[in-house]
Structure 1
């Protein structure tokens, strides 16, 4: 007899949601497995503590991409959370639904379960939003969402510049209108504390006797017998560990780790698996393919120091901000990575926005040996294309689960992505040139006015761009036979095995991925429970 009905691999954004939902029925015996440890470190819960957490190997998987020309011939870090809460414990906390049309397109590819009607309902059920119930948000759900409470002359000018560009100022930028818009960004922050997946979903669920949470387990492979998944195998504290599932195994290890686990299990491109001596259980060439990632460029402008938040993050100001945070859970250290966002069309004939700006009233000193703000005032804008067409890949390099996979990002390998880069940068420059923001700007400092022609702007993108930690697509869902998982997220040809995380996105669903991952997982729980009944 199996110890559990459902074994969930990965306690990140998706895994925590599934553990919460599936364990609501006391008849379900649920196991949640996490490779990392607990999330008790205070910097995890302090929103601006992410600057420290992102450089702490204790909480991260140290994934690196292969060098390529578009990444300045160097490998890039694609850090992922290795802790309860997964990447939701180490991310920038921006909460973006994505346009309704994206989910209707997803339904066309993978089935009606993924239409905006269902995903809208998922958001309404999982959110506990500061603004209360709305057309596409919930006010009573377990995940608390707030808006930035920081307002200044500079932030208001940054929003007003968007209005001057023709964008609609929105109180809730996730209102389901699919139009061009600008506003203060919703964040997974509540009363000054990060609301990770572990905080929102595991904290209320872990008291349930039918939910078991095991940390420190690195899952090697899924065990498959006669075409059916029976459990997972891995290592805990240096010893072999095996966990069995009577009903299903749900892989929620993320875009990088989920395809790697499948490949080590013999599920993936047969030729690659055979070259590593892995017996082929199911030949699925698309496992690890279709990798998509945003590659943004952070642009910066200098302003008077009194207008910027930089002074709150250096010297005496930083000490004051930290002390205020620990005393009140308020102030600069209680804010997210970005305070404002804008969604826009690079061409007026497009049906929905294809570009995103994320904005904050501080700027980084990129010449410093460690992360810090500039010694004078500034602000930054990160700009990128919402739905990149370039496709990379992820393949394991050995049978050893401790050996990181080979990641080929292939940024801007699609001509449409390459052509969009100067368009996006020039849009950001026109944005900043709008009154009243332009009157506050002293100079563009990054990349700088010397990057003017298309070729020069692409060179800036090559030198200064970076992966935005939004990778998806490596176990894509679809109704076609080439898809890795079907419309119910079942791995094709293997019974009792589903994948539920960003790897199942056929394309980018939003400019930031935490919200769609949680919504997909919430909807996946509906499907699992429906089929179980």
Structure 2
């Protein structure tokens, strides 16, 4: 059995950061384990290749959720990366840091190591932002971040309409002020190529002799001697292999997969483990519980000018845009999934912005003739709208069998806190006022989703349930906290055992304001400091 000092399970946003930082100490050995392949596929690096990646089971997990009210009793799909770089290799490439209040709330429940004071320094270290260094923003870090170059009458009208709503037009929409604002969405794209965690953190250090990257290996369980983690067991090329960990196993499989690894390893609800014939190592019913996920209302508008991407991803235009991309690194194939961001208050008395609208220069084909791209043939734009940090935290993710290749049972728990649904209703009405502001109003023909006929609360919520989308920002399934009921302690150590930590979005008790890719990298950067402390 091969042995290493640290065994990292999952080569995603957290795992790549940890592999980089821990292997910087040439006195230790590090193994990074990934279930999927390497990140060499050209669709990974071409930003708009994501549309093709989403249909590739070789590079994506297509998890199905349980039916519930929040998805109109129709299972929806949670997509996750199955490739080196994890979901950072297949996501929409937006860069949202979260706000100081998010991290200070985490510090209140999980200790001062997670305060904004520490996390802001992590961001300064990891960001290589086009805008250069600034308050809590890094200018020379490994994650290269750029702003959209596609700026048109439509994008400038969106900014101008936001200003008329009283929202500041921000150069950096991540400015750490907890406030409202509108502006261009930063993205993990540099010179036309995706900047995944693998590109930023792993590829530059792949040559280190003390770092071993193992792909195509599905982690089944953690191995224990008594209650001490001593390695993992994986399935690779149809065979079971064991990989030893002299110091620690670091579980970075993500909020969907990490609770399953713990449960198959004997850590979880005793009744669930008994049903699957898994010997108990440590009882903790919180494993797989406390799950929170965005449910976003999709809104969109038809426009009267050719200012969207809708026609760029089909037919001869698509062929030309792919050729253009490979010749110049520019054009519609080089853009992120979202172009702009607005943050605002659902009610004036809120002490900080509690809604985000991620604005894209495209519109979905909901009811017309099918298109290969999934977009309308007419020009339009959209907004994906949700509370930045949902109050709903009652979802769950648990193993459905002992087989590590079988997907878990996922109950999303969308909108179980009525305040989330009330906030989304308020946000929909605010955005309807927003698009009535000039010069944006003159570009709009009509609203196409939810549509002008959807005026009542019931109609708007029914549209969200039926046509809404999961944010793919799952957290909470291995919740961190100072309380004994949490899954991991403030140093991310799994309670009840030794030599095992969880380091990924699953440990976050609540979604930081917006998206999770950046926050997970910052969390992992900070976690490396804690591991070094012992």
Partner of 1:523: 526
Distance 2:372 2:527 in 1: 41
Whole-Å Cα distance in 2 between the matches of residues 217 and 86 of structure 1?
14
Which residue in 2 is equivalent to 1:500?
503
Counterparts of 1:71 and 1:306 in 2: how far apart (Å)? 33
TM-superposed deviation, 1:107: 0.5
Q: Secondary structure at the match of 1:455?
A: helix
> What TM-score results when the alignment is normalised by the length of structure 2?
0.98
Q: Deviations over 1:360-403 (max 9, x none)?
A: 22212234264332111111111011111222001111111011
Q: Does 1:146 align with 2:146?
A: yes
The SS at the match of 1:394 is strand
Query: What residue number does 2:401 align with?
Result: 398
Partner of residue 118, structure 1: 118
Greater mean alpha carbon deviation, residues 368-377 or residues 51-60: 368-377
Among 453, 468, 480, the alignment partner of 1:477 is: 480
Query: What is residue 58 of structure 1 aligned with on the other side?
Result: 58
**Partner of 2:128 in structure 1?**
128
Which segment drifts farther, 28-37 or 375-384? 375-384
How far is the alpha carbon of 1:310 from its aligned partner? 2.2
How far, CA to CA, are the matches of 1:182 and 1:69 in structure 2?
32
TM-score normalised by the chain length of structure 1: 0.98
How does 1:304-453 map onto structure 2 within 5 Å?
Answer: 304-367=304-367, 368=370, 370-390=372-392, 391-453=394-456
Deviation track 1:94-116 (CA, whole Å, cap 9, x = no partner) reads 00001101101111110110000
Aligned residue in 2 for 1:303? 303
For 1:122, what is the secondary structure of its paired residue?
Answer: helix
What's 1:257 paired with?
257
Residues 99 and 352, structure 1, Cα contact 8 Å, conserved in 2: no
**What's 2:23 paired with?**
23
Give distance in 1, aligned partners of 2:223 and 2:480. Answer: 22
Structure 2 Cα separation of the partners of residues 294 and 502 of structure 1: 14
Q: Return the offset for 1:306.
A: 2.0
Partner of residue 515, structure 2: 512
For the 8 Å contact 1:159–1:169, the answer to whether it is kept is yes
Cα deviation 1:156-194 (Å, max 9, x = unaligned): 111211111111111111121111011101100000000
The number of equivalent residue pairs is 531
DSSP 3-state at the match of 1:124? helix
Partner of 1:283: 283
Checking the alignment, whether the CA contact within 8 Å between 2:385 and 2:424 is kept in structure 1 is no
Q: Deviations over 1:454-493 (max 9, x none)?
A: 1111111111112111111100100001110010000001
Is 287-296 or 58-67 further displaced after alignment? 58-67
1:206 aligned partner = 206
Q: Equivalent residue of 2:63, what SS?
A: coil
Shift of 1:258: 0.2
Q: CA deviation at 1:70?
A: 2.2
Residue 493 of structure 2 is aligned with which of 490, 494, 506?
Answer: 490
Mapped contact 1:471–1:502 kept (Cα < 8 A) = yes
Q: SS at the partner of 1:248?
A: strand
Corresponding residue of 1:163? 163
| Pairing 1:172–2:172 present | yes
- The CA distance in 2 between the partners of 1:428 and 1:287, in whole Å, is 38
Equivalent in 457, 460, 473 of residue 454 of structure 1: 457
Distance 1:248 1:199 in 2: 25
Does the CA-based 8 Å contact 2:305-2:443 persist in structure 1?
no
Alpha-carbon distance in structure 2 between the residues aligned to 1:510 and 1:2: 41
In structure 2, the residue corresponding to 1:6 is in which secondary structure? strand
After TM superposition, the structure 1 stretch with the greater mean CA deviation from structure 2, 35-44 or 366-375, is: 366-375
Contact 1:383 1:428 in 2 (8 A): no
Gaps of 5+ in 1: none
CA deviation profile, 1:30-53 (whole Å, cap 9, x unmatched): 000000001111111111111111
Q: Secondary structure at the match of 1:358?
A: strand
Residue 294, structure 1, aligned to residue 307, structure 2: no
Alpha-carbon distance, 1:530 to partner: 1.9
d(CA) in 1 for partners of 2:307, 2:237: 51
SS at match of 1:486: coil
Partner of 1:225: 225
Per the alignment, do residues 318 and 305 of structure 1 end up closer, same or farther by CA in structure 2, a change over 3 Å counting? Answer: farther
Cα shift at 1:305: 4.1
Q: Distance in 1 between matches of 2:62 and 2:460?
A: 30
Q: Distance in 1 between matches of 2:60 and 2:310?
A: 27
CA distance in 2 between counterparts of 1:316 and 1:62 reads 30
